[in-house]
Each structure stands twice: as structure tokens, then as C-alpha cells.
């Protein structure tokens, strides 16, 4: 099992410039540097970064079908589906953090809600020997990337059990979301200074 976690850790360490924050709630994320590597004084090789999933769990799930049974009848047009994604992280202790992936899906047609689903899926992760400049990105890109397939399946099952075709989300580019959020935060800081 330890071999499986090493490639993920290497991948995270090799992407220091790829950020991954899902939405506007990244600001509260304060991931502290963890287990600093020994200084390069010839004492031996630096320990490799490692990332392990300690646990994953469903924190909240809500599904609403407010216009049933009329909403289950054949419709003349496809509903418009809006998806919102958010990622939050918080430290649990020196090496462990909890990462939450929040998915919010709403389908509407002719101004009426067809269904609304909200999912909060989380995991606890142990990140060790990560450089401080990569820690934030690893927590908000790699961790939600590992959680996403499970959250996607739960959301698909919920919509199917609600009487609709399963909602199968496309893969999410957490790195692009992180970069967008970091850029937005820089612009907000610059605007405050001016």
C-alpha cells in the first residue's frame, strides 16, 4: 500500500505551480507546513513527500424533488443543470488535515426546480515532508481529486434514486480552479491596497 501512496505524493510535489481551490471558500484554508525536511547538511537524503488517506466519509447529503410527481413526467425539453463546487481544508493536527468537497447541483426547467442535490463529502489526509510552498496546493488540488470519484458516485445514486437519470459529473480540474482562486485573491489584495 505504501507504494501506491508514493506516486500520488510525487505528483503533488512536482506541481508546485498548479493550484487547486474549488471556489471562494479557500481563504479560510490555513494549511501549516508539516514535518519540515532535515536541512541539506550532508546528513543523508531528504525524506520524500507522502500523502495518505486516513479516512473518507459523507458529512451531509440532501436531495429535493419539490414538484414530484409532475417533475417525473416526460418533459418537452431538457432541464438546465447548474453545478457549484467548493473545497475547504482545515488542520486537525501537525500532520493531518480534513478536506471537504462540496457539490451543489440544481436542475430547473421553465423557472421551476426539477431537483436540487447538495453533497458534502470529506476525507482526512496525512501529508508529510511537503515543502511549505506546495502544501496549500497539495491540500486543495490532490486531496479533492482523490475524493471526487466517490462524491460523484453518491450524487449519481441520489439523482437516480430520486427518479431521474443519474447525474454523472464530468471530471473537475481542481488545479485550474485553484489557480483561478489564487489570482482572484491577488486581485482582491491589490484592490484593497489601492
**Helix 143-161 × helix 174-193 angle, to 10°:** 110
State residue 82's pLDDT score. 95
Structural domain includes residue 172? yes
* Residue 126 grid cell: 496525512
CA torsion sign for 12, 17, 23, 28 is positive
Structural domain includes residue 3? no
Peptide bond into 127 cis (omega under 30): no
Contact in structure between 123 and 143 (CB atoms under 8 Å)? yes
Collapse the DSSP code of 38 into the 3-class scheme (helix H, G, I; strand E, B; otherwise coil) and give the result. coil
State residue 42's pLDDT score. 52
State residue 95's pLDDT score. 85
Q: In this predicted model, what pLDDT tens digit does every residue of 122-134 receive, in sequence order?
A: 999 999 988 888 8
Structural domain includes residue 18? no
Contact in structure between 79 and 108 (CB atoms under 8 Å)? yes
DSSP state of 172: -
Q: Which domain holds residue 70?
A: 24-36+48-193
Domain count, the chain: 1
CA torsion sign for 49, 52, 58, 64 is positive
For the chain, residues with pLDDT lower than 70 are 1-44
Give the list of residues 6+ apart from residue 52 with CB closer than 8 angstroms, or none.
5, 125, 126
State residue 177's pLDDT score. 93
Structural domain includes residue 8? no
Collapse the DSSP code of 82 into the 3-class scheme (helix H, G, I; strand E, B; otherwise coil) and give the result. strand
| pTM score | 0.71
State residue 35's pLDDT score. 40
* Residue 88 grid cell: 475547504
Give the list of residues 6+ apart from residue 93 with CB closer than 8 angstroms, or none.
none
Closest CA to 118 of 100, 104, 101: 104
State residue 5's pLDDT score. 37
Give, in degrees to the nearest 5, the angle at Cα 188 between 148 and 173.
20
Structural domain includes residue 6? no
CATH of the domain at 111: 3.10.420.10
Amino acid at each position: 500500500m505504501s507504494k501506491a501512496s508514493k506516486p500520488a505524493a510525487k505528483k503533488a510535489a512536482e506541481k508546485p505551480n498548479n493550484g487547486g481551490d474549488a471556489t471562494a471558500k479557500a481563504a479560510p484554508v490555513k494549511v501549516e507546513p508539516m514535518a519540515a525536511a532535515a536541512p541539506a547538511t550532508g546528513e543523508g537524503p531528504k525524506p520524500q513527500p507522502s500523502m495518505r488517506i486516513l479516512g473518507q466519509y459523507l458529512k451531509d447529503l440532501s436531495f429535493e424533488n419539490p414538484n414530484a410527481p409532475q417533475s417525473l413526467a416526460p418533459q418537452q425539453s431538457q432541464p438546465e443543470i447548474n453545478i457549484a463546487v467548493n473545497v475547504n481544508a482545515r488542520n486537525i493536527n501537525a500532520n493531518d488535515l480534513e478536506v471537504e468537497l462540496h457539490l451543489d447541483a440544481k436542475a430547473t426547467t421553465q423557472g421551476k426546480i426539477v431537483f436540487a442535490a447538495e453533497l458534502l463529502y470529506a476525507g482526512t489526509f496525512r501529508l508529510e515532508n511537503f515543502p511549505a510552498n506546495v502544501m496549500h496546493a497539495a491540500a486543495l488540488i490532490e486531496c479533492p481529486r482523490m475524493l471526487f470519484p466517490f462524491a460523484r458516485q453518491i450524487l449519481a445514486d441520489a439523482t437516480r434514486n430520486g427518479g431521474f437519470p443519474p447525474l454523472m459529473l464530468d471530471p473537475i480540474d481542481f488545479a485550474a480552479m485553484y489557480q483561478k482562486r489564487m489570482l482572484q485573491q491577488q486581485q482582491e489584495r491589490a484592490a484593497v491596497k489601492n
